[in-house]
Amino acid sequence: MTGIRLSGVTKRYGETEVITGLDLDIHEGEFLVFLGPSGCGKSTLLRMIAGLETVSDGQISIGDRQVNELPPGQRGVAMVFQHYALYPHMTVYDNMAFGLRNSGVGATDIDRRIQEAARMLELDVLLQRRPSQLSGGQRQRVAIGRAVVKEPEAFLFDEPLSNLDAALRTRTRVELARIHQRLNSTMVFVTHDQIEAMTLATRIVVMNKGRIEQIGAPLEIYKRPATRFVAGFIGAPAMNFIDVERAGDNGGRLIVALPVEGVKVPTAIATSSLPAGKLTLGVRAEHVIVDPNGPLSGRAEVIERLGDRSLAHVSLPNNQLLVVELPRDLEIDTGHTVRMSLDAAHVHLFDETGQAHHGV
């Protein structure tokens, strides 16, 4: 197992700087996920670790070696891409063996590695087939197997599940988690899909515009987002945001006023911890409580019935939409009036700079 360190890593394309002075320690044996929207720099960062992109400034170390000047083949990493990149004229066995043969690995060792990887990935009966005879999920498993047989110091995955349908993505996600548990290897995974990040990661690095917004365990990032960007990006549906005004405090905890119906909400957030300026309240759908005696009311515009839960998109008197998770036994149709209250213990406040403030 090997850790990876990025120190002041910067990437420029001409005059355009896409990643600026990024510092990050990837721990030995962890499954770290770079998560963010398209264009945030996550794939560029992964490609710099792999040696497929040059580093403009800063240093990348894999284990105890600085690797900035090393070619990809000497960095001790194996990369799995979004596209399978399998040789169509070769069997599964030969696809997995190709890189090892070019590296001078002996035939006996090659066969041992392939047989072990094939058993792990349930490819045993497919070794003599060609890629055209495989499903998309099987091809991706071959691509993963080709990385596994290299016995690398670290695995790098660049959105490897993007080309699979929903059912195959779920199955392959589970297989990746099992592979990590078996190999206990350092794995770095790039995705824009928060479900992949939340289910696979030991830690998530949320990126935005070439910089790190937050690093943390999946539930930590979900429950205590560091910025408004993270709060809006993590979670399905996204967090609700409402502009609010200061309305006093209660025992040092801020009370805020919503811009509708004169509703005031006590928070668990210390008044003294908040800077001057405008505030935005954030609350997730599961913390908006359907309450017949609640101070908020609105009209249900859309009902999303998702099987395990239902979401109501409720229009408030100021025309703002609030997404609410409905109780399982409650039947509400479009056009119905919904009364609500907010779970004050689970509201977040964001200042003008987008920084989050949480209760104790």
Burial of residue 282 (CB within 10 Å: 0-12, 13-18, 19+) is buried
Least confident of 255-259, 312-316, 330-334: 330-334
Phi then psi dihedrals of residue 128, to 5 deg: -100, 5
Ranges for all domains in the chain classified under CATH 2.40.50.140:
240-357
One-letter amino acid identity for 290?
A: V
Q: At the topology level of CATH, where does 240-357 sit?
A: OB fold (Dihydrolipoamide Acetyltransferase, E2P) (2.40.50)
pLDDT, residue 33, reads 97
C-alpha dihedral (305, 310, 316, 319), degrees to nearest 10: -40
Condensed to tens digits (0 to 9), the pLDDT of residues 145-198 reads 999 899 898 999 998 888 777 777 888 888 888 888 888 899 999 999 999 999
Q: Which residue has the higher pLDDT, 82 or 131?
A: 131
1: pLDDT strictly greater than 60: no
CA-based max dimension of the chain: 77
Percentage of the chain exceeding pLDDT 90: 68
Q: At what angle do helices 136-148 and 107-120 cross, to 10 degrees?
A: 130
Ranges for all domains in the chain classified under CATH 3.40.50.300:
4-224
Cα separation of 214 and 204, whole Å?
Answer: 8
Chain centroid offset of residue 287 CA: 22
For CA atoms 209, 215, 217, 222, give the dihedral sign: negative
CB 315 within 8 A of CB 279: no
333: pLDDT strictly greater than 90: no
CB 309 within 8 A of CB 344: no
40: pLDDT strictly greater than 80: yes
- CATH 3.40.50.720 at 4-224, yes or no: no
Q: At what angle do helices 107-120 and 92-102 cross, to 10 degrees?
A: 140
